[in-house]
Structure 1
Amino acid sequence: MSAQPTCLPDHILVAAAGDSIESLPSSEASNKFGASFETPAGRKLVKPSDYMELISCMRPNLWASLADEVPAWVNEKRNKTSVERTLRWLDACLALDVAAGQNTLGVVVGGSSIEERKRCATEVSKRNVSGFWIGGFGLGENVEERCNLLNAVTDCLPSDKPRLVSRLGLPEEVLEGIASGIDLFDSTYIHQLTMGGFALIFPVDMVEREMQNGIFNDSAGDLTKINLRTTTYRKDTSRIVDSCSCFTCQNHTRAYLNHLLNVHEMLAQILLEIHNTHHYLHFFRSIREAIKIGEFDLFWKQFVENRRSQIAAAVM
């Protein structure tokens, strides 16, 4: 998902190690030879040469180099090791890349260490890469820590190459990332929501509404998502979002989706993904419009304030 206008096409395929191997990295088990992954067939060690073979088969628009991502709670020594391994694997991947880095996103890691994050970002920017994949987020860091780390990384990266961050998908996280200088976000958030039976419902069109007394008029509002599997929606004949123009909302009700989900019908995920993708892309269009008219900071501030009031009202 693109937050700011770039020279990239509307839709691109970005490959990363976790996607290519259909698993999650087990960084603590990684070693100097390669990254270790838990797969359905057991633990698998992937060397840079193995990874490049996978990449050549997939032929993505962009691909992230093999990296040693670590969670926020590891010590300084482990953070340093992750950076050294990631840089070494990046060099190995580039040496095997027939396109000589033309489609490569250099991965920036370093855990919760600002110094190691800066070191990694500075070193990766010296390589012949097309952009940057900022990894290691969503692994235990708190909000304040994440903002500081993102700012530290983006300050060390050139502004003329795209920056993608992984695992940040919540609306507030997206806005924080854009404020820190992030250009692209992965779309795994939508897939995870859809597979869980969740539908996005948060308001996304604040920029298009008239401003009254300096603030957005946001009379509508709700939480981020609803779980359509629950019995609450079994007889709910309303749309997921009344104002949504997607195919799902125009033709089906919450009750119908609840039924499809609970009888394990494949159509449920198809209809849900249509809505969630449409809703999420609308959110990004609103962000781009706010940037275009110079009101992103206002959009961000008002969006967060409205969301807090919505959550507080829901808890009461």
Structure 2
Amino acid sequence: MADGETWQINTSRKRVRKSVDRSLAHLDECLLVHQKSQELEGVEVFGVVEGGDILEERVRSAKETAKRPVSGFCLDGLQTGSMAQALRTQLISAVTKELPEDKPRLLQGVGRPDEVLASVEAGVDLFEGFFPFQVTERGCALIFNFNISSNPELAELEPGEDQETAGDSQHNGDLNPDDQAQMTSFEINLKDKRYQGDLRPLVEGCGCYCCRNHQRAYLHHLLVTNELLAGVLLMIHNTAHYHAFFGALRDALAEDTLDLLKRRVLGQTERKD
């Protein structure tokens, strides 16, 4: 439980301060119930860090929440569209400095690969898994390249036409890349007529059921005819692709190659700017 409405633009400092106080009070009540309940024994409690876009309140919320016997932390009010990535990174970095390193930090409302990478560098451990669903709802497929292995058999996507196609949508004047409802540079729109005769899988080398058994042209047909199978197949691929991205991210952190992964993922977008 938390008072998490202060992510909205132009929220007053007084309102933000009240949200932090309320969230701490809610947490204390939840911890008391948790302590007295046999049914909740073994259930972990995460504390919610609030504070809007005010650095001092974010730090205060983090410090006070860290004093409580919680198992982890939810960083709320930093979702895509609420603020610029630079400000989000600044706030996350300040917050995570106040939180113990042995307890996980969950960032809510952020799922785009570029934002995930920036947030991980700032100290985030966990993310929500809504992004593949959003991409699927748009009738799109994730195709971005995150392969940093020297083994060509492990490549997810080689540089070429698909990356150019993915980038086109981000620079369409009608689209805002900071709006979670809009297409991003990490996906392709299978409803586009250009895929009507495209006999390739969504991503060459992808081992998901969709890519192993179906072609882009078939997905295009399913989408334009409003077949329910389109969403099923796209969700299979998008979930597998996103999951593989996080696998590559964990490997990059373990092998100290995060900068290389960032160049591979973000370079696809930067070349279009």
* TM-score, scaled to structure 1: 0.71
Q: 2:232 aligns with which of 270, 277, 291?
A: 270
Contact 1:229 1:258 in 2 (8 A): yes
What's the Cα RMSD here?
2.2
Name the SS for the 1:208 alignment partner. coil
* Counterpart selection for 1:231 from 193, 196, 214: 193
Structure 2 equivalent of residue 119 of structure 1:
60
Once residues 41 and 88 of structure 2 are traced to their aligned partners in structure 1, the CA distance between those partners, rounded to angstroms, is: 32
State the match for 1:94 in structure 2.
31
How far is the alpha carbon of 1:144 from its aligned partner?
1.1
CA distance in 2: counterparts of 1:232 and 1:202, whole angstroms: 18
- Identity of aligned pairs, percent? 39
**Residue 175 (structure 1) aligned with residue 136 (structure 2):** no
Aligned residue type for 2:143: I
- Is 1:187 aligned to 2:129, yes or no? yes
Matched with 1:146 is 88
Q: For residues 49-92 of structure 1, what are the alpha-carbon distances to aligned partners after superposition, in whole Å with 9 as ceiling and x for unaligned?
A: xxxxxxxxxxxxxxxx3442322521212211211121122222
For residues 231 and 109 of structure 1, what CA distance do their matches in structure 2 show?
45
Q: Answer with 114-123 or 300-309: which moved more.
A: 300-309
Identify the residue that residue 297 of structure 1 maps to in structure 2.
259
Give CA deviations for 1:157-190 in whole Å, capped at 9, x if unaligned.
Answer: 1100011101111111111111011111100111
Conserved in 2, the CA contact under 8 Å of 1:197 and 1:261? yes
Q: Tell me by how many angstroms 1:251 deviates.
A: 0.6
2:10 corresponds to 1:71: no
Higher strand share: 1
Q: TM-score, normalised by structure 2?
A: 0.81
1:251 paired residue among 209, 213, 219: 213
Does 2:219 correspond to 1:282?
A: no
Q: Which amino acid aligns with 2:53?
A: S
Secondary structure at the aligned position of 1:133 is classed as strand
Question: How many residue pairs align between the two structures?
Answer: 241
1:176-232 Cα shifts (integer Å, max 9, x gaps): 111011111100111111122111011011x2137xxxxxxx644613101112333
Whichever residue aligns with residue 149 of structure 1, its letter is: L
Distance 1:227 1:302, change over 3 A: closer
* Structure 2, gaps ≥5 residues long: 152-157, 167-185
Query: Aligned-pair distance for 1:140?
Result: 2.1
92 and 71 in structure 1: CA distance in 2 versus 1, 3 angstrom threshold:
same
